[in-house]
Amino acid sequence: MKKKISIILIKDYLNIGNKGDIAEVRAGYAFNYLVPYKIAEITTENKVKHLQMIDQITSNHIKANEITKNRIKQKLENLQKISIYRKKGKNNYIFGQVTEKDISIYVLKYAGIKLDKKQIKIPNIKQLGAFTTQIKLSNNINLNLKLNILPVNT
């Protein structure tokens, strides 16, 4: 007779499941291997309730973050274009290069949104003109903004 018991995984384990999953395994496997090596723990009513509460809190945080990201996206869409001024050299080349930090500073100044430079992707810009920059707010929320590089009038 194979007696199975219910366990909650503390760590990801290849053949059973991911952290926080509830699984049925043989009693000997659980008591002799999974529990002593702190891969799993035996389920109780309170532990299951606690696990469900944590899952609910996590899903609420994810929903709140998505709402916040969509609001930020709306603000950035209202920005429409970014104009950066640089000194002009020969053949419309600029001195220096436009970086993610320049765009981040512009967005902070005019939209009030602080972006990390890892969220911004721009092409290699060394001359005046119009370009497109991509801003990645999360895994599924991307935004393209127009980027104008203009000469400084001195």
Per-residue pLDDT tens digits for 65-76: 989 988 988 888
- The secondary structure element, H or E, covering residue 134 is strand 129-136
- Model pLDDT for residues 42-100, shown as the tens digit of each residue: 999 999 999 999 999 999 999 999 899 889 888 888 888 889 998 988 888 898 888 99
Query: What was the pLDDT predicted at 10?
Result: 94
Query: What was the pLDDT predicted at 126?
Result: 87
Query: What was the pLDDT predicted at 140?
Result: 83
Is pTM beyond 0.75? Reply is no
What is the CATH code for 4-64? 3.40.5.10
What span, in angstroms and rounded, lies between the C-alpha atoms of 51 and 47?
Answer: 6
Nearest to 89 by CA among 32, 11, 152: 152
- Domain boundaries, given as residue ranges, for the chain: 4-64, 72-151
What span, in angstroms and rounded, lies between the C-alpha atoms of 44 and 7?
Answer: 9
pLDDT bin (cut points 50, 70, 90) of residue 13 is very high
User: 3-state DSSP call for residue 135?
Assistant: strand
Query: What was the pLDDT predicted at 79?
Result: 85
Residue 1 pLDDT > 60, yes or no? Answer: no
CB 130 within 8 A of CB 148: yes
Q: What is the mean pLDDT of the chain?
A: 90
Superfamily of structural domain 72-151: Ribosomal protein L9, C-terminal domain (3.10.430.100)
